[in-house]
């Protein structure tokens, strides 16, 4: 259970594993390999994001978010889809609605804006789903900004975090974000990348009928 795959050689059909407790590694040979290591998030791809943002796919950050949402009394909450594809397309909208709900319960919603930004027009589903979800956000007073690319995140002169971004219409669009949640910037883990199994987006291309990794054939 505590064993990590540290490298993979698809041509030789071997993998090196090592106990997280330390000690020597071991080479395992395989005839068939089922790979399911999930995706890793790389916030460092946007300057400042790791310093100011909370990753909604991270358990540790979810716990931090709980305490930050319980403490914020004014300002702005931004939920950002930094890139697509990402784990769980509805999650940013769920987080925005939960944020709205918690802030209303605490009686501070009027003093805090909630905004969802996304680097594409809409990250999931059909136009019907898009229209329904945008309606849900509008009902709750949550603003949605499509085609918002995040360039960096930094503190202003008062120490307030500001997301610096741009849209097709505005070359510079700063968004204050007293609380910044984000998703996206994900790709396959390093050992998959090192094994040469990824496409330019950092994911593993598969045959959609069999789920076989086409780069390992």
Ligand X SMILES: Cc1cc2nc3c(=O)[nH]c(=O)nc-3n(C[C@H](O)[C@H](O)[C@H](O)COP(=O)(O)OP(=O)(O)OC[C@H]3O[C@@H](n4cnc5c(N)ncnc54)[C@H](O)[C@@H]3O)c2cc1C
Would you tell me which residues interact with ligand X (CB under 6 A)? 4-5, 36-38, 56-57, 87-88, 91, 189, 191
User: Between residues 59 and 121, which has the closer beta carbon with respect to ligand X?
Assistant: 59
Tell me which H or E stretch contains 49: helix 49-52
- Provide the sign of the torsion angle of the four alpha carbons 123, 125, 131, 134, taken in this order: negative
User: Between residues 65 and 114, which has the closer beta carbon with respect to ligand X?
Assistant: 65
**Tokens of residue 127, six digits:** 């136009």
**Tokens of residue 138, six digits:** 């509008």
- Minimum distance from CB of 173 to ligand X (Å)? 26
User: Between residues 47 and 89, which has the closer beta carbon with respect to ligand X?
Assistant: 89
- Minimum distance from CB of 86 to ligand X (Å)? 8
User: Between residues 65 and 72, which has the closer beta carbon with respect to ligand X?
Assistant: 65
Q: To 5 degrees, how large is the angle CA 192–CA 193–CA 194?
A: 90
- Minimum distance from CB of 107 to ligand X (Å)? 27
Which residue lies nearest ligand X, judged by its C-beta?
Answer: 38
Q: What Cα–Cα distance (Å) separates residue 200 from each residue in 14, 37, 76, 204?
A: 24, 18, 35, 9
Contact 4, 18 (CB under 8 A): yes
User: Between residues 65 and 162, which has the closer beta carbon with respect to ligand X?
Assistant: 65
Residue 149's nearest CA partner among 199, 99, 185, 178 is: 185
Contact 80, 46 (CB under 8 A): no
**Tokens of residue 196, six digits:** 């040469």
- Minimum distance from CB of 34 to ligand X (Å)? 11
- Minimum distance from CB of 94 to ligand X (Å)? 7
- Minimum distance from CB of 40 to ligand X (Å)? 8
**Tokens of residue 126, six digits:** 């059909």
**Tokens of residue 67, six digits:** 């305490």
User: Between residues 3 and 131, which has the closer beta carbon with respect to ligand X?
Assistant: 3
Rounded CA-CA distance 24/22 in Å is 7
């Amino acid at each position: 259970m505590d064993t990590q795959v540290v490298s993979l050689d698809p041509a030789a059909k071997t993998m090196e594993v090592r106990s997280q407790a330390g000690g020597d590694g071991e080479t395992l040979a395989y005839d068939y390999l089922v790979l399911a290591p999930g995706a890793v998030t790389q916030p460092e791809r946007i300057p400042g994001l790791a310093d100011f943002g909370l990753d909604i796919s991270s358990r540790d950050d979810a716990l931090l978010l709980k305490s930050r949402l319980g403490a914020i009394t004014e300002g702005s909450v931004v939920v950002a889809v930094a890139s697509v594809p990402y784990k769980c397309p509805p999650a940013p909208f769920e987080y925005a609605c939960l944020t709205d709900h918690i802030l209303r319960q605490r009686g501070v919603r009027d003093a805090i804006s909630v905004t969802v930004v996304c680097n594409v027009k809409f990250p999931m589903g059909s136009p019907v789903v898009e229209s329904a979800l945008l309606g849900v956000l509008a009902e709750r007073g949550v603003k949605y900004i499509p085609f918002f690319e995040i360039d960096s995140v930094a503190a202003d002169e008062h120490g307030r975090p500001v997301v610096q971004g741009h849209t097709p219409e505005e070359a510079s669009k700063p968004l204050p974000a007293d609380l910044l949640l984000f998703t996206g910037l994900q790709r396959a883990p390093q050992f998959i990348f090192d094994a040469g199994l990824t496409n330019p987006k950092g994911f593993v291309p598969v045959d959609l009928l069999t789920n076989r990794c086409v780069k390992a054939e």
